[in-house]
Amino acid sequence: MGRDSGEAGTALPHEYWAAEAGPSPPTSTLTEVCGSDSTPEGLRMLLLGALLLLLALPSHGQYTTQGPPLPKGACTGWMAGVPGHPGHNGTPGRDGRDGTRGEKGEKGDPGLVGPKGDTGETGITGTEGPRGFPGVPGRKGEPGESAYVFRSAFSVGLETRVTVPNVPIRFTKIFYNQQNHYDGTTGKFLCNIPGLYYFSYHITVYLKDVKVSLYKNDKALLFTHDQFQDRNVDQASGSVLLYLDKGDQVWLQVYEGENHNGVYADNVHDSTFTGFLLYHNIE
């Protein structure tokens, strides 16, 4: 009640009346109460009446602005009491009801990227892919060093007719003799590589019969006989496989004398002798 603390000991201001008083009281009643009795008992009754009046007054607008002032002479002894002390604070009120649900807020910013997860299990093996293109051919390999050791071959022929029987025929027309295992000066092949050899000969027969043998180390192993037909050119041939040891010699030779020496050769007729290693001895 601070509004009346500054006016203690004096008449209540008009604002007090404006805030607390009710409607303007009937003048006749107030005059009647104040003027009929001025004794202490009467004063007490007057204060009581004033209090009831304050409680009963519903409005004051007319009283404060239009109503006549209080009669001074009749209520000079009525004075306001000393304002009381402020009251104690009341007990706290109950909690209010929950408010209404607010509107949904805006979508927030994306969160930070989380840590990398663990490695997953191995997947299933896929299907086989298409066949690739052929690769580039590799380089040619180097020749083996031991290959030459197992090479032995010759192919030779007559340059002129044979005139001497019972001796090795000397073939001096060389078609091939790279290893020089055949000796043109003796007409003999000398074995340098043990193994299986193939020999063949093709003889042109002219003017006389032919009896020719293939010799191995002074022993005739193969015999070929062709009878000459007059006014004709015949051929005699033979071939054989022989196993030779190193140092063995092989050659052709006419046997039985001059009457069977029809071995012939010129520019357009050849008589040849050929031999080569088929398998070398690997034992």
Residues that bind Ca ion (CB under 5 A): 226, 234
CA angle (154, 160, 164) in 5-degree steps: 95
Minimum gap (Å) between residue 231 Cβ and Ca ion: 12
* CB nearer to Ca ion: pick between 146 and 232: 232
* CB nearer to Ca ion: pick between 3 and 225: 225
Minimum gap (Å) between residue 164 Cβ and Ca ion: 23
* CB nearer to Ca ion: pick between 218 and 230: 230
Minimum gap (Å) between residue 191 Cβ and Ca ion: 33
List the one residue out of 197, 199, 193, 174 whose CA is nearest residue 184. 174
* CB nearer to Ca ion: pick between 186 and 237: 237
* Dihedral angle sign, alpha carbons of residues 25, 29, 32, 34: negative
CA 177 to CA 229: how far, in whole Å?
Answer: 34
Pairing of strands 249-254, 188-190: antiparallel
Minimum gap (Å) between residue 186 Cβ and Ca ion: 29
Q: Buried (b) or exposed (e) across 119-137, using 16+ Cβ within 10 A?
A: eeeeeeeeeeeeeeeeeee
